[in-house]
Structure 1
Amino acid sequence: MKYFESNWFKLLITGMILIVVYKSVDNINGIFSFFGTLLGILMPVIIGCVIALFAYRPVCKLKGLLCKVNNRLVTSHSLVISVLIVYIIFFAVVALAFNFIVPVLYKNVEELVTKLPGYIDSLNGLLRHVEFIPQVDLSFIGEKLLSYFNFERLNEYVSVITGIANSFVSFLVSIIVSIYIILEKEHILLFFSKIKKRFQFDHKTDVVVRYIKKIINLFYSYFAGLLIDSVLIGSISTVVFASFKVPYAVFLGLAVAIGNMIPFFGPIVAALVTYLIGMIGLGPVNALWILVFQFVLGQIDGNIIQPKIVGSQVGVSPLLVLVSVTVFGGLFGPLGMILGVPICASAKLVLEDYLEDGKIDGEKREIT
């Protein structure tokens, strides 16, 4: 025992650690490559955990309703039946989207790409009559986009099709993983409980678990509400655009829905895109009503619809939203812009606990 407490032993351990650190830094590209490969292998499992997170609450609510049914067979298999119903509804929605929305969307995109050079020439001609706008040749935009959407060179996209097929298989694996996670939830929790008991983790573990539950609830509330809100706003926009004969209504509605997922900047970019494309079919003056509609809908959504759907769980000020979207978007791109707000809200949750009484114990703020 004294040998392990000696200075020579401590020096040996320190030297070994330094060697490991040096070799790690010396081969940093190989380490990143290894973890990248490992992350790719584990990605179906990670996505399955995310799917399970969002499917678990509907399953629990449905299970509670089935437990009230006066039928022993139903109550005894309520969890399995609930999982089956929720996933059937999910696949039914996906199937409806592919049958009705995707073909129309594909037709919109194909027509837009085909007519894009003519649209850009028209826009160039329009800009030439506006004196205060610098004259810029926009033909390079069409050439750049057509290089990505050349429907006459489909043979060159075999690798893309293969990648889509592999992604589909990975998605099916993720679905299966998510189902097993929900069905085996009690066994998984019991397993970790045994680990905690065996290794006798201290009370700090309880604090970490408490915060993990709060942050998971925060992410769930934020993204579930944001998804519902984006689908609703995108659907309203599509119906209005189609009613007023705006070209490519489905494509523009999808752009609005995606833009609504990114706080602050997303709706602005979506409004500009819808105006530019609407200007093609309606003219620059008549297309202004699209901007008016987007502004009015944005005000209704931001002040009435989104607070009701998303709720006040996130509790982040508009300034912090702007900063988080800017910083995380600059660091991690579009994904960072989407994740920035809930990440900052999670950090704010911990900071508020500490500022309230000088302790990080997870006892002060509950998210329901």
Structure 2
Amino acid sequence: MSNWKQLDRLIGKYLLIGAIAVIVIMNYKNILQLLEYIWIVAKPLVIGACIAYVLNILMNLFERYLYPNAESKLANATRRPVAILLALIVIVAVISFVLYLIIPQIISVIQEIIKVLPMIGQSIEYLIHESEKLWPFLDDYVNLDSLNVEAITRRILNFLNGLTSNVIGTTVSTVSSVLSFVINIFLSLIFALYILLGKERFGQQFRRLSQAYLPVKGHNLLMYVLQIFDQSFHSFITGEVIEAFILGAMVAIGMFIFRFPYAAMIGALTGVTALIPIVGAYLSGAVGFVLIAVQNPLQGLLFIVFIVVVQQIEGNLIYPRVVGDSIGLPGIWVLAAVTVGGGLWGIPGMLMGVPLSSAVYRLIRNDVALREEVKHQADEDRNHRFHEA
């Protein structure tokens, strides 16, 4: 009789799952719209939770060194707020310093490009007319004498000058977007501060909910999975930040030594983009090549050689020692995580893909090892009973 009851429950369970699947498939558009609406509403909270997680790493560091031996109520009450304030100051200072290095140089590069455009036009005109001497058959397809390079250059300059007026003209239409962005960031910061100030209380409440609504085995499994994800993200963030700082410093110092222009800006840009695994260093290298080649094409080519050498040193000597096996993900899976994450969610996907894949990889690896151990133990017990018989 009990077997029939178990069969009825199993059939009912699968029927319920099938009915839910049919409902989801038939209403997937409405469900996607609902999920999109939920994401829009919850976006500041999700961003706030991410900010809190990153700030928590710095906050824990400062809390360990802020009057650790003090036992007064004032010290205990102010340790957490002071640590949060110091963490915010550090992050704002780093962002401000990077922008201070990058923005003025970008403006000067744009001005330099506008200045050299007429010379580039003259060079193109000279090359075209020289090519006419070498390949007379071009004249059958292109009327080179009617080619007015000065007019083309003037149009390009007018287009670049018009960009400024277009930006000014569209400022009014973008005010609402900027205001919405500022409000979302403000709400995210407030939510992050609430999480950090009461993280122990929130953690305890979450554990109580898990213990109340999940069986013991399910609760332990959930805590184990969350611990693995926390370790993966913590190792990835700390390792990538240290590695990015080292790479940016190497690029800046090397460019100063070899007298490349824009050394400070490209070094800072390399440090920022190096936070994106694999792809980041190549992005900064491409930007640096364009900036340098505008002034000196030969020096731009030498910069490519320089950046490739630096990346080889960083990838083979520094990255394995700084990040090492902390991520616990083979190189081929890092590339796959960056590719898939970038394709799905852009730059945030590139950043999140590696630690997420690392956590999943660790969970699967540990589960496989546990199953192999159980199977090996069962085989040993079976062999032991066989020999006893």
| Shift in CA distance, 156/354, structure 1 to aligned 2, threshold 3 Å | same
Q: Deviation at 1:184?
A: 0.8
Contact 1:44 1:174 in 2 (8 A): yes
Contact 1:353 1:360 in 2 (8 A): no
Q: Verify: 1:358 aligned to 2:371, yes or no.
A: yes
What percent of counterpart residues are identical? 20
Q: Which residue does the alignment assign to 2:186? A: 172
CA distance in 2, matches of 1:319, 1:150: 43
Q: Which residue does the alignment assign to 1:366? A: none
Q: Which residue does the alignment assign to 1:41? A: 41
CA distance in 2, matches of 1:303, 1:126: 46
Moved more, 47-56 or 322-331: 322-331
Contact 2:270 2:284 in 1 (8 A): yes
Q: Deviation at 1:115?
A: 5.4
* Structure 1 residues 193-212: aligned runs within 5 Å: 193-212=207-226
Q: Deviation at 1:289?
A: 2.1
Residue 263 of structure 1 aligns to a residue whose secondary structure is: coil
Q: Deviation at 1:97?
A: 4.7
| Shift in CA distance, 15/343, structure 1 to aligned 2, threshold 3 Å | closer
CA distance in 2, matches of 1:202, 1:269: 48
Structure of higher CA gyration radius: 2
- Partner letter of residue 367 of structure 2? Y
* Structure 1 residues 140-179: aligned runs within 5 Å: 150-154=163-167, 155-179=169-193
| Shift in CA distance, 305/264, structure 1 to aligned 2, threshold 3 Å | same
Q: Deviation at 1:297?
A: 1.7
Residue 262 of structure 1 aligns to a residue whose secondary structure is: coil
- Partner letter of residue 365 of structure 2? E
Q: Deviations over 1:223-264 (max 9, x none)?
A: 232234324433553565567665555654455335423333
CA distance in 2, matches of 1:217, 1:293: 35
Contact 1:354 1:360 in 2 (8 A): no
Residue 32 of structure 1 aligns to a residue whose secondary structure is: helix
Residue 215 of structure 2 aligns to a residue whose secondary structure is: coil
Q: Verify: 1:215 aligned to 2:204, yes or no.
A: no
Aligned-residue CA RMSD (Å): 4.1
CA distance in 1, matches of 2:351, 2:372: 30
Q: Deviations over 1:286-335 (max 9, x none)?
A: 33321222122212322333334334211333333333333443444444
Q: Which residue does the alignment assign to 1:61? A: 61
Q: Which residue does the alignment assign to 2:378? A: none
Residue 190 of structure 1 aligns to a residue whose secondary structure is: helix
Q: Deviation at 1:26?
A: 3.7
| Shift in CA distance, 7/197, structure 1 to aligned 2, threshold 3 Å | closer
* Structure 1 residues 321-360: aligned runs within 5 Å: 321-358=334-371
CA distance in 1, matches of 2:369, 2:295: 57
| Shift in CA distance, 265/16, structure 1 to aligned 2, threshold 3 Å | closer
CA distance in 2, matches of 1:116, 1:336: 38
CA distance in 2, matches of 1:276, 1:343: 34
Segments of structure 2 that go 5 or more residues without pairing to the other structure are 139-151, 375-389
Q: Deviations over 1:158-193 (max 9, x none)?
A: 343432332222212212211111111121122122
Q: Deviation at 1:42?
A: 1.1
Residue 237 of structure 1 aligns to a residue whose secondary structure is: helix
Q: Deviation at 1:63?
A: 2.0
Aligned match for 1:312, one of 312, 317, 325: 325
Residue 77 of structure 1 aligns to a residue whose secondary structure is: helix
| Shift in CA distance, 59/13, structure 1 to aligned 2, threshold 3 Å | closer
CA distance in 1, matches of 2:161, 2:345: 23
- Partner letter of residue 290 of structure 2? L
- Partner letter of residue 53 of structure 1? Y
Q: Which residue does the alignment assign to 1:260? A: 274
TM-score, length of structure 2 as denominator length: 0.72
Contact 2:101 2:265 in 1 (8 A): no
* Structure 1 residues 252-291: aligned runs within 5 Å: 252-253=266-267, 255-284=269-298, 286-291=299-304
Residue 153 of structure 1 aligns to a residue whose secondary structure is: helix
CA distance in 2, matches of 1:110, 1:228: 32
TM-score, length of structure 1 as denominator length: 0.75
Q: Which residue does the alignment assign to 1:30? A: 30
Segments of structure 1 that go 5 or more residues without pairing to the other structure are 362-368
Contact 2:250 2:310 in 1 (8 A): no
Moved more, 53-62 or 155-164: 155-164
Bigger helix share:
2
